[in-house]
Amino acid sequence: MNTQNSLKALRRLATTSVRVPRSTLNTQPGLRGFSTTPVGSLRFTSLQHDKSDPYHKSSTDATGTSAGPHEGSASRTDREIIVEYPDDEKVFDQHERPLRGFGGVQNARTLPTFSLEGRTAVVTGGARGLGLVMGQALVNSGSDLAIVDLNKEEGEKQAAEIVRLFKKDFPDEKPPKVTAHYSDVSDPDSVTDCINEVISKHGKIDHLVTSAGFTENFSAETYPYDRIKKLWGVNVDGTYLFATAVARHLMERGNITHGSIVMIGSMSGAVVNVPQPQAPYNAAKAAVRHLAASLAVEWAHAHIRVNCISPGYMLTALTRKILNDNPELNKTWTSLIPVGKMGSPEDLQGAVVYLLSDASRYVTGADLRVDGG
Ligand SMILES: NC(=O)c1ccc[n+]([C@@H]2O[C@H](COP(=O)([O-])OP(=O)(O)OC[C@H]3O[C@@H](n4cnc5c(N)ncnc54)[C@H](O)[C@@H]3O)[C@@H](O)[C@H]2O)c1
């Protein structure tokens, strides 16, 4: 790869976790950020076990200077690059069949406190990406699920898919209740309406995962202010609004000692990613992390636990597409990850079940980094 191509690749690196809802695009002519266009479904198979998967075979070899041809040059991005959300694929393609015990006998021994049997969980941003994979984990652990998303149509499709799969795995059992609901998490009225709708369908809420969020890359000195407000509105306000609404509901129910909330932050809330410029996103994720710690203290009296999961670079359909287009980038990314590979969305499943379930009943206010080191 020549220098020009390398530079281009590094600039494209800045698009790794870019998520711009379609509605926020083109609001400022001439100031286009990186964006994704949600057009397809995600596939999240257990790729970490697939030896032929090129993204999990890479080494941690250094890739030369990460600063580009001169110091600081890599922290500038090309505003013209737009990454389409990939138009694929089959969902829950090769999922791992969950274990099930009958009459006290289980196929494998596990701690019962990890079970979410009889619980109802809400996952915001649950129609796609990490939220969808975490939602599947909650259902496989016994919970009913309410998928909340801007994209209700996709949420409905995935809800039906989760139930279809459950029936396939357990044809003789009562299927879980999995519903889809519209909400713009940054809008207080929309959040209230959504919570009411979920309670009317499920009767109660026990757990919340706030995965609705996005990032975009602008250098700070040119970042359009209305977009910063939108970014903070979804990532921070949206997390706050949903958490407080669910906490109010749990407090009103009274005598509930198992209520718990997991907020999805990011490693970007604790470290500064390079080379992509994303100061407002980093600040938003730091806010999410400390919001979890603060609310954990504030709501301890009500037995509501609040924790944060901070993922590193996760290999979603979008990042996979970027890497397919730019094979050199895989080396660049993995050179900065101690375990030498990006995470799979499935790597969050155990973490979210642990933090929501009674297995973590003495854990609150924690930040669990799932970032390969
Ligand atoms: N993918 C990664 O590598 C990564 C790494 C660290 C943290 N994160 C965080 O994880 C979360 C999920 O990321 P992802 O990669 O799954 O993103 P994604 O774009 O694949 O999914 C996000 C979902 O949130 C929904 N959403 C966006 N704005 C919304 C709003 N205002 N109201 C309701 N729903 C909304 C989208 O429609 C989408 O379904 C985000 O908070 C992100 O910042 C992701």
Residue 331: active-site member: no
Any domain includes 1: no
Residue 266: active-site member: yes
**Domain count across the chain:** 1
Any domain includes 70: no
Any domain includes 326: no
Residue of 17, 20, 230 with the most ligand 1 atoms within 8 Å of its CB, for mutation: 17
Any domain includes 329: no
Looking at residue 242, its amino acid is: F
Catalytic member of 17, 141, 266, 268: 266
| Pocket flag, ligand 1, residue 316 (CB < 6 Å) | yes
| Pocket flag, ligand 1, residue 150 (CB < 6 Å) | yes
Any domain includes 258: yes
| Pocket flag, ligand 1, residue 21 (CB < 6 Å) | yes
Per-residue tens of pLDDT for the chain, all 373 residues: 333 343 343 333 333 333 333 333 333 322 223 333 332 333 333 444 456 766 665 444 433 333 344 433 344 455 555 666 666 555 576 677 787 765 555 578 889 999 999 999 999 999 999 999 999 999 999 999 999 999 999 999 999 999 999 999 999 999 999 999 999 999 999 999 999 999 999 999 999 999 999 988 899 999 999 999 999 999 999 999 999 999 999 999 999 999 999 999 999 999 998 878 999 999 999 999 999 999 999 999 999 999 999 999 999 877 787 778 878 777 877 899 999 999 999 999 999 999 999 999 999 999 999 999 9
Q: Residue 6: helix, strand or coil by DSSP?
A: helix
User: Which residues are 368's β-sheet partners?
Assistant: 309
Report the alpha-carbon distance of residue 257 to residue 260 in Å, rounded: 9
Q: Look at residues 140, 97, 143 and name the one whose alpha carbon lies nearest to residue 119.
A: 143
pTM exceeds 0.85 for this model: no
Domain residues for the domain of 253 are 115-314+334-370
Report the alpha-carbon distance of residue 152 to residue 116 in Å, rounded: 25
Q: What is the CATH number of the domain that holds 303?
A: 3.40.50.720
Place of tokens 């109660």: 204
Report the alpha-carbon distance of residue 269 to residue 235 in Å, rounded: 12
Any domain includes 185: yes
Any domain includes 359: yes
Q: Look at residues 16, 87, 98 and name the one whose alpha carbon lies nearest to residue 350.
A: 98
Any domain includes 51: no
Residue 285: active-site member: yes
| Pocket flag, ligand 1, residue 212 (CB < 6 Å) | yes
